Amino acid sequence: MVTSKRIESVDILRGITIIAMILVNTPGDWGHVYAPLLHAEWHGLTPTDLIFPFFLYIVGISIYYAYKNKPNTSSTYKKVGIRSLKLIGLGLFLNLFTPLFPFVVDLETWRIPGVLQRIGIVFFITAVLYLNFNWKQLAAIILTILIGYYAFLGFVPLPNELGALTFDRAPNNWANYLDLKILGKHMWQPDYDPEGLLSTIPSIASSLIGVLIGKILNRIAPLKTLVITAFSLLISGYAFSLVFPINKAIWSSSFVLVTSGWGTLILALIYYLRDVKQYPFGTIFKYIGVNAITVYFLSSLLSKCMYNIPVNENHNIHSWLFETLFFPESIGPKLASLFYGLVVVFIYGYLGFWMYKKKIIIKV
Protein backbone atom coordinates (compact mmCIF):
# COMPACT_ATOMS: atom_id res chain seq x y z
CA MET A 1 0.00 0.00 0.00
CA VAL A 2 1.08 3.56 -0.68
CA THR A 3 0.12 6.94 0.74
CA SER A 4 -0.46 10.20 -1.10
CA LYS A 5 0.06 12.30 2.02
CA ARG A 6 2.88 14.83 1.70
CA ILE A 7 5.94 13.81 3.69
CA GLU A 8 6.79 16.96 5.65
CA SER A 9 10.01 15.50 7.07
CA VAL A 10 11.61 15.69 3.61
CA ASP A 11 10.91 19.43 3.37
CA ILE A 12 12.26 19.91 6.90
CA LEU A 13 15.47 17.99 6.19
CA ARG A 14 15.96 19.99 2.98
CA GLY A 15 15.59 23.25 4.93
CA ILE A 16 17.99 22.10 7.65
CA THR A 17 20.52 21.16 4.97
CA ILE A 18 20.35 24.58 3.28
CA ILE A 19 20.66 26.41 6.60
CA ALA A 20 23.66 24.26 7.52
CA MET A 21 25.19 24.95 4.12
CA ILE A 22 24.86 28.72 4.64
CA LEU A 23 26.26 28.47 8.18
CA VAL A 24 29.45 26.66 7.14
CA ASN A 25 29.92 28.90 4.09
CA THR A 26 29.68 32.23 5.94
CA PRO A 27 31.82 32.34 9.09
CA GLY A 28 32.94 35.73 10.30
CA ASP A 29 36.60 34.76 9.93
CA TRP A 30 37.81 31.72 7.97
CA GLY A 31 40.93 31.65 10.11
CA HIS A 32 38.88 31.05 13.25
CA VAL A 33 36.25 28.35 12.79
CA TYR A 34 35.26 25.52 15.14
CA ALA A 35 36.41 22.15 13.77
CA PRO A 36 32.90 20.62 13.23
CA LEU A 37 32.12 23.53 10.88
CA LEU A 38 35.08 22.71 8.61
CA HIS A 39 35.52 19.94 6.06
CA ALA A 40 37.94 17.11 6.79
CA GLU A 41 41.34 17.98 5.37
CA TRP A 42 41.20 14.91 3.12
CA HIS A 43 40.15 11.49 4.46
CA GLY A 44 37.60 11.51 7.26
CA LEU A 45 34.15 12.89 8.02
CA THR A 46 32.96 15.98 9.88
CA PRO A 47 29.37 17.23 10.28
CA THR A 48 30.11 19.73 7.51
CA ASP A 49 30.96 16.89 5.11
CA LEU A 50 27.41 15.58 5.47
CA ILE A 51 25.73 18.68 4.07
CA PHE A 52 26.23 18.40 0.31
CA PRO A 53 25.59 14.63 0.08
CA PHE A 54 22.43 15.17 2.13
CA PHE A 55 21.25 17.67 -0.45
CA LEU A 56 21.89 15.31 -3.37
CA TYR A 57 20.16 12.54 -1.42
CA ILE A 58 17.12 14.81 -0.99
CA VAL A 59 17.26 15.63 -4.70
CA GLY A 60 16.76 11.91 -5.30
CA ILE A 61 13.79 11.72 -2.94
CA SER A 62 12.25 14.75 -4.67
CA ILE A 63 12.77 13.16 -8.08
CA TYR A 64 10.83 10.11 -6.95
CA TYR A 65 7.81 12.18 -5.92
CA ALA A 66 8.01 14.62 -8.83
CA TYR A 67 8.25 11.99 -11.58
CA LYS A 68 6.57 8.86 -10.23
CA ASN A 69 3.41 9.65 -12.19
CA LYS A 70 5.05 11.45 -15.10
CA PRO A 71 4.92 9.85 -18.56
CA ASN A 72 8.19 8.79 -20.19
CA THR A 73 7.81 11.30 -23.03
CA SER A 74 9.92 13.92 -24.79
CA SER A 75 8.01 16.63 -22.89
CA THR A 76 9.14 15.19 -19.55
CA TYR A 77 12.76 14.92 -20.74
CA LYS A 78 12.59 18.50 -21.99
CA LYS A 79 11.50 19.75 -18.56
CA VAL A 80 14.25 17.71 -16.88
CA GLY A 81 16.84 19.08 -19.30
CA ILE A 82 15.73 22.69 -18.89
CA ARG A 83 15.83 22.47 -15.10
CA SER A 84 19.28 20.91 -15.23
CA LEU A 85 20.59 23.64 -17.53
CA LYS A 86 19.16 26.33 -15.24
CA LEU A 87 21.04 24.89 -12.26
CA ILE A 88 24.29 24.59 -14.23
CA GLY A 89 23.84 28.12 -15.60
CA LEU A 90 23.29 29.59 -12.12
CA GLY A 91 26.44 27.86 -10.90
CA LEU A 92 28.55 29.11 -13.80
CA PHE A 93 27.16 32.62 -13.23
CA LEU A 94 28.21 32.53 -9.58
CA ASN A 95 31.73 31.53 -10.61
CA LEU A 96 31.88 34.31 -13.21
CA PHE A 97 30.20 37.02 -11.18
CA THR A 98 32.15 39.88 -9.70
CA PRO A 99 30.47 42.92 -8.10
CA LEU A 100 33.32 45.23 -9.06
CA PHE A 101 33.26 47.57 -12.03
CA PRO A 102 34.48 47.12 -14.69
CA PHE A 103 33.26 43.54 -14.95
CA VAL A 104 36.46 41.59 -15.58
CA VAL A 105 36.79 37.80 -15.53
CA ASP A 106 40.03 35.88 -15.86
CA LEU A 107 38.88 33.18 -18.26
CA GLU A 108 42.19 31.32 -17.90
CA THR A 109 41.50 30.51 -14.25
CA TRP A 110 37.69 30.73 -14.15
CA ARG A 111 36.44 27.79 -12.12
CA ILE A 112 34.10 25.59 -14.15
CA PRO A 113 32.84 23.01 -11.58
CA GLY A 114 30.73 23.99 -8.59
CA VAL A 115 27.94 22.98 -6.22
CA LEU A 116 25.03 24.04 -8.45
CA GLN A 117 26.71 22.56 -11.52
CA ARG A 118 26.98 19.20 -9.78
CA ILE A 119 23.37 19.39 -8.60
CA GLY A 120 22.26 20.09 -12.18
CA ILE A 121 24.23 17.18 -13.65
CA VAL A 122 23.21 14.74 -10.92
CA PHE A 123 19.57 15.82 -11.17
CA PHE A 124 19.51 15.21 -14.93
CA ILE A 125 21.16 11.79 -14.88
CA THR A 126 19.21 10.57 -11.84
CA ALA A 127 15.88 11.67 -13.31
CA VAL A 128 16.62 10.00 -16.65
CA LEU A 129 17.64 6.77 -14.93
CA TYR A 130 14.53 6.83 -12.74
CA LEU A 131 12.28 7.30 -15.77
CA ASN A 132 13.80 4.26 -17.49
CA PHE A 133 14.54 1.67 -14.81
CA ASN A 134 12.68 -0.05 -11.98
CA TRP A 135 13.87 -0.05 -8.37
CA LYS A 136 15.77 -3.33 -8.66
CA GLN A 137 17.64 -2.07 -11.70
CA LEU A 138 18.38 1.22 -9.95
CA ALA A 139 19.80 -0.70 -6.96
CA ALA A 140 22.01 -2.65 -9.38
CA ILE A 141 23.18 0.63 -10.96
CA ILE A 142 24.08 2.00 -7.52
CA LEU A 143 26.14 -1.10 -6.70
CA THR A 144 27.83 -0.98 -10.11
CA ILE A 145 28.79 2.67 -9.61
CA LEU A 146 30.16 2.14 -6.09
CA ILE A 147 32.13 -1.02 -6.85
CA GLY A 148 33.23 0.19 -10.27
CA TYR A 149 34.48 3.52 -8.89
CA TYR A 150 36.54 1.73 -6.23
CA ALA A 151 37.95 -0.68 -8.79
CA PHE A 152 38.86 2.11 -11.20
CA LEU A 153 40.58 4.33 -8.61
CA GLY A 154 42.22 1.41 -6.86
CA PHE A 155 43.32 -0.92 -9.62
CA VAL A 156 43.41 0.66 -13.10
CA PRO A 157 47.06 1.68 -13.74
CA LEU A 158 47.97 5.31 -14.27
CA PRO A 159 50.61 6.45 -16.75
CA ASN A 160 53.93 4.93 -15.64
CA GLU A 161 55.64 8.18 -14.69
CA LEU A 162 53.08 8.89 -11.92
CA GLY A 163 53.89 5.83 -9.82
CA ALA A 164 51.59 3.70 -7.66
CA LEU A 165 47.89 4.40 -7.31
CA THR A 166 46.68 6.25 -4.23
CA PHE A 167 43.49 7.64 -2.71
CA ASP A 168 45.48 10.50 -1.16
CA ARG A 169 45.64 14.12 -2.30
CA ALA A 170 48.20 13.57 -5.03
CA PRO A 171 48.53 13.57 -8.84
CA ASN A 172 48.56 9.75 -8.85
CA ASN A 173 44.94 9.70 -7.67
CA TRP A 174 42.74 9.09 -10.74
CA ALA A 175 40.15 11.70 -9.68
CA ASN A 176 42.82 14.39 -9.29
CA TYR A 177 44.72 13.26 -12.36
CA LEU A 178 41.73 13.57 -14.71
CA ASP A 179 40.68 16.93 -13.28
CA LEU A 180 44.19 18.29 -13.78
CA LYS A 181 44.34 16.91 -17.33
CA ILE A 182 40.89 18.11 -18.42
CA LEU A 183 40.13 21.16 -16.26
CA GLY A 184 43.67 22.43 -15.78
CA LYS A 185 43.56 25.81 -14.02
CA HIS A 186 39.75 25.88 -13.99
CA MET A 187 39.55 24.27 -10.54
CA TRP A 188 38.91 25.32 -6.95
CA GLN A 189 42.43 24.34 -5.87
CA PRO A 190 45.54 23.97 -8.06
CA ASP A 191 45.65 20.20 -7.50
CA TYR A 192 41.99 19.13 -7.13
CA ASP A 193 38.35 20.19 -7.18
CA PRO A 194 35.78 18.81 -4.69
CA GLU A 195 33.15 19.00 -7.44
CA GLY A 196 35.44 17.50 -10.06
CA LEU A 197 34.60 15.37 -13.09
CA LEU A 198 35.21 11.77 -12.03
CA SER A 199 33.85 12.25 -8.51
CA THR A 200 30.53 13.37 -10.00
CA ILE A 201 29.83 9.74 -10.97
CA PRO A 202 29.55 8.37 -7.40
CA SER A 203 27.58 11.49 -6.40
CA ILE A 204 24.88 10.20 -8.77
CA ALA A 205 24.71 7.12 -6.53
CA SER A 206 23.96 9.41 -3.55
CA SER A 207 20.95 10.76 -5.41
CA LEU A 208 19.82 7.34 -6.64
CA ILE A 209 19.82 6.10 -3.04
CA GLY A 210 17.50 9.03 -2.32
CA VAL A 211 15.17 7.80 -5.08
CA LEU A 212 14.94 4.40 -3.36
CA ILE A 213 14.32 6.10 0.00
CA GLY A 214 11.49 8.02 -1.67
CA LYS A 215 9.95 4.69 -2.65
CA ILE A 216 10.21 3.51 0.97
CA LEU A 217 8.60 6.74 2.24
CA ASN A 218 5.71 6.30 -0.19
CA ARG A 219 4.58 3.15 1.62
CA ILE A 220 2.37 2.94 4.69
CA ALA A 221 4.34 2.97 7.98
CA PRO A 222 7.86 3.17 6.50
CA LEU A 223 9.67 4.01 9.76
CA LYS A 224 10.98 0.51 10.54
CA THR A 225 12.27 0.07 6.98
CA LEU A 226 13.97 3.47 7.11
CA VAL A 227 15.83 2.59 10.32
CA ILE A 228 16.91 -0.83 9.01
CA THR A 229 18.06 0.76 5.74
CA ALA A 230 19.97 3.46 7.62
CA PHE A 231 21.94 0.97 9.70
CA SER A 232 22.56 -1.24 6.68
CA LEU A 233 24.06 1.71 4.79
CA LEU A 234 26.15 2.80 7.79
CA ILE A 235 27.52 -0.68 8.50
CA SER A 236 28.36 -1.36 4.85
CA GLY A 237 29.86 2.12 4.44
CA TYR A 238 32.15 1.92 7.46
CA ALA A 239 33.17 -1.62 6.44
CA PHE A 240 33.94 -0.38 2.90
CA SER A 241 36.03 2.44 4.39
CA LEU A 242 38.60 -0.15 5.53
CA VAL A 243 39.71 -0.46 1.89
CA PHE A 244 38.34 2.78 0.38
CA PRO A 245 38.59 5.66 2.91
CA ILE A 246 35.66 7.98 3.57
CA ASN A 247 36.48 11.05 1.54
CA LYS A 248 34.28 13.91 0.35
CA ALA A 249 36.84 15.43 -2.02
CA ILE A 250 36.87 12.36 -4.27
CA TRP A 251 33.33 11.28 -3.16
CA SER A 252 34.51 7.78 -2.30
CA SER A 253 32.07 4.86 -2.37
CA SER A 254 32.28 4.50 1.42
CA PHE A 255 31.45 8.23 1.67
CA VAL A 256 28.30 7.65 -0.40
CA LEU A 257 27.12 4.82 1.83
CA VAL A 258 27.96 6.44 5.17
CA THR A 259 26.46 9.84 4.33
CA SER A 260 23.33 8.19 2.89
CA GLY A 261 23.09 6.14 6.09
CA TRP A 262 23.28 9.20 8.31
CA GLY A 263 20.82 11.01 6.05
CA THR A 264 18.34 8.15 6.30
CA LEU A 265 18.71 7.88 10.07
CA ILE A 266 18.17 11.63 10.56
CA LEU A 267 15.24 11.55 8.13
CA ALA A 268 13.73 8.65 10.09
CA LEU A 269 13.99 10.66 13.31
CA ILE A 270 12.37 13.74 11.75
CA TYR A 271 9.72 11.53 10.13
CA TYR A 272 8.88 10.01 13.53
CA LEU A 273 8.62 13.40 15.24
CA ARG A 274 6.72 15.24 12.51
CA ASP A 275 4.84 12.79 10.31
CA VAL A 276 4.09 10.09 12.90
CA LYS A 277 3.76 11.96 16.20
CA GLN A 278 2.64 15.21 14.54
CA TYR A 279 4.82 17.36 16.81
CA PRO A 280 5.07 20.98 15.60
CA PHE A 281 8.74 20.42 14.93
CA GLY A 282 10.90 22.11 12.30
CA THR A 283 8.25 24.23 10.58
CA ILE A 284 10.69 27.09 9.95
CA PHE A 285 12.98 24.68 8.10
CA LYS A 286 10.03 23.57 5.98
CA TYR A 287 9.51 27.21 4.93
CA ILE A 288 13.14 27.51 3.89
CA GLY A 289 13.17 24.15 2.12
CA VAL A 290 10.43 25.24 -0.28
CA ASN A 291 12.81 27.81 -1.84
CA ALA A 292 16.04 25.97 -1.05
CA ILE A 293 17.95 26.69 -4.28
CA THR A 294 16.83 30.33 -4.32
CA VAL A 295 17.95 30.93 -0.74
CA TYR A 296 21.28 29.20 -1.37
CA PHE A 297 21.90 31.13 -4.60
CA LEU A 298 21.12 34.50 -3.00
CA SER A 299 23.33 33.74 0.00
CA SER A 300 26.25 32.84 -2.29
CA LEU A 301 25.72 35.90 -4.48
CA LEU A 302 25.50 38.34 -1.56
CA SER A 303 28.48 36.73 0.18
CA LYS A 304 30.58 37.23 -2.95
CA CYS A 305 29.56 40.89 -3.03
CA MET A 306 30.47 41.40 0.62
CA TYR A 307 33.91 39.82 0.17
CA ASN A 308 34.73 41.85 -2.94
CA ILE A 309 33.36 45.33 -2.27
CA PRO A 310 35.90 47.40 -0.28
CA VAL A 311 34.95 49.72 2.57
CA ASN A 312 38.43 51.15 3.06
CA GLU A 313 42.06 50.16 2.45
CA ASN A 314 41.95 47.41 5.09
CA HIS A 315 38.42 46.04 4.94
CA ASN A 316 35.74 44.75 2.62
CA ILE A 317 32.10 44.84 3.71
CA HIS A 318 32.34 41.38 5.27
CA SER A 319 35.43 41.98 7.39
CA TRP A 320 34.28 45.46 8.42
CA LEU A 321 30.91 44.16 9.65
CA PHE A 322 32.58 41.28 11.49
CA GLU A 323 35.16 43.41 13.31
CA THR A 324 32.74 46.27 14.00
CA LEU A 325 29.64 44.39 15.17
CA PHE A 326 30.85 41.06 16.57
CA PHE A 327 33.74 42.11 18.85
CA PRO A 328 36.23 39.30 18.06
CA GLU A 329 38.85 40.82 20.39
CA SER A 330 36.41 40.84 23.32
CA ILE A 331 34.61 37.49 23.09
CA GLY A 332 37.21 35.55 21.15
CA PRO A 333 37.54 35.19 17.36
CA LYS A 334 36.01 31.69 17.08
CA LEU A 335 32.90 32.56 19.06
CA ALA A 336 32.52 35.86 17.22
CA SER A 337 32.95 34.04 13.90
CA LEU A 338 30.19 31.60 14.87
CA PHE A 339 27.85 34.40 15.96
CA TYR A 340 28.37 36.11 12.62
CA GLY A 341 27.40 32.92 10.79
CA LEU A 342 24.33 32.44 12.99
CA VAL A 343 23.15 35.99 12.26
CA VAL A 344 23.52 35.32 8.53
CA VAL A 345 21.52 32.10 8.97
CA PHE A 346 18.79 34.02 10.80
CA ILE A 347 18.55 36.56 7.98
CA TYR A 348 18.16 33.92 5.29
CA GLY A 349 15.85 31.89 7.50
CA TYR A 350 13.60 34.92 7.78
CA LEU A 351 13.82 35.43 4.02
CA GLY A 352 12.62 31.85 3.47
CA PHE A 353 9.81 32.38 5.99
CA TRP A 354 8.75 35.65 4.34
CA MET A 355 8.75 34.12 0.85
CA TYR A 356 6.65 31.19 2.03
CA LYS A 357 4.09 33.43 3.76
CA LYS A 358 3.87 35.63 0.66
CA LYS A 359 3.43 32.48 -1.44
CA ILE A 360 6.56 33.32 -3.42
CA ILE A 361 7.92 30.00 -4.67
CA ILE A 362 10.66 30.21 -7.27
CA LYS A 363 11.05 26.97 -9.18
CA VAL A 364 14.55 26.47 -10.59
Question: Which domain covers residue 86, as residue numbers?
Answer: 39-278
The answer to whether position 152 is within a domain reads yes
Question: pTM, whole model, 2 decimals?
Answer: 0.93
Model pLDDT for residues 259-298, shown as the tens digit of each residue:
999 999 999 999 999 999 988 888 889 899 889 999 999 9
The answer to whether position 8 is within a domain reads no
The answer to whether position 302 is within a domain reads no
Rounded to whole angstroms, how far apart are CA atoms 225 and 213? Answer: 9
Rounded to whole angstroms, how far apart are CA atoms 355 and 348? Answer: 10
Rounded to whole angstroms, how far apart are CA atoms 288 and 21? Answer: 12
Model pLDDT for residues 98-142, shown as the tens digit of each residue:
877 556 677 788 899 999 999 999 999 999 999 999 999 999 999
The answer to whether position 260 is within a domain reads yes
CA 51 to chain centre: 6
The answer to whether position 28 is within a domain reads no
The answer to whether position 167 is within a domain reads yes
The answer to whether position 107 is within a domain reads yes
Specify the number of domains making up the chain: 1
Residue 247 pairs in a beta bridge with 43
Model pLDDT for residues 211-230, shown as the tens digit of each residue:
999 999 998 889 999 999 99
Model pLDDT for residues 298-339, shown as the tens digit of each residue:
999 999 999 988 898 888 999 999 999 988 888 899 999 999
User: How wide is the angle at C-alpha 37 spanned by C-alphas 32 and 42, nearest 5°?
Assistant: 100
The answer to whether position 46 is within a domain reads yes
